[in-house]
């Protein structure tokens, strides 16, 4: 008997930003389904360079096996033209886990208190990776 999936991702693209609204605590089934959603969305919206912004609610967390899948999703994104992953953290524990992951793996991750800070950092990261003269569009101005 399969376990019921817990946790929800809402994905949307705005310019070269993939926004992922993350809701609720996750179990392995929920985080695996979410990872598949991300892979499908990235495959459908092929970008040469993009950034991921996760917006976490206060209940977003998971057991160690869930955190491994989240780490795998970060790695997969970075291997598929994502230049930076920002998380808007609702709790200090979320930010601590993210910082630990960044230090342990060397992935281009960062945690922020606000979405505006996350977007600014992602714009800077994209600008560093684009050819001279390229313009990074401010998603909120579209």
What CATH number does residue 17 fall under? Answer: 3.30.750.24
- What does the pLDDT average to over 112-123? 98
The answer as to whether 127 is a domain residue is: yes
As a whole number of angstroms, the distance between CA 17 and CA 126 comes to 10
Helix axes 64-78, 28-44, angle to 10 degrees: 10
As a whole number of angstroms, the distance between CA 95 and CA 118 comes to 13
The answer as to whether 141 is a domain residue is: no
Domain count, the chain: 1
Over residues 73-101, the pLDDT tens digits come to 999 999 999 999 999 999 999 999 999 99
Q: How far is CA 4 from CA 28, 73, 126, in A?
A: 10, 21, 38
The answer as to whether 137 is a domain residue is: no
Name the average pLDDT for the chain.
Answer: 91
């Amino acid at each position: 008997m399969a376990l019921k999936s817990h946790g929800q991702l809402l994905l949307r693209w705005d310019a070269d930003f993939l926004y992922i609204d993350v809701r609720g605590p996750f179990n392995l089934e929920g985080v695996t389904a979410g990872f598949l959603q991300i892979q499908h969305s990235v495959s459908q919206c092929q970008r040469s360079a993009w950034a991921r912004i996760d917006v976490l609610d206060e209940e977003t967390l998971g057991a160690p096996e869930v955190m491994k899948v989240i780490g795998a999703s970060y790695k997969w994104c970075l291997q598929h033209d994502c230049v930076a992953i920002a998380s808007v953290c609702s709790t200090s524990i979320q930010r601590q886990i993210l910082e630990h992951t960044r230090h342990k793996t060397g992935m281009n991750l960062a945690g922020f208190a606000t979405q505006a800070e996350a977007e600014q950092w992602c714009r800077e990261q994209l600008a560093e990776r684009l050819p001279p003269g390229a313009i990074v569009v401010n998603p909120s101005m579209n």
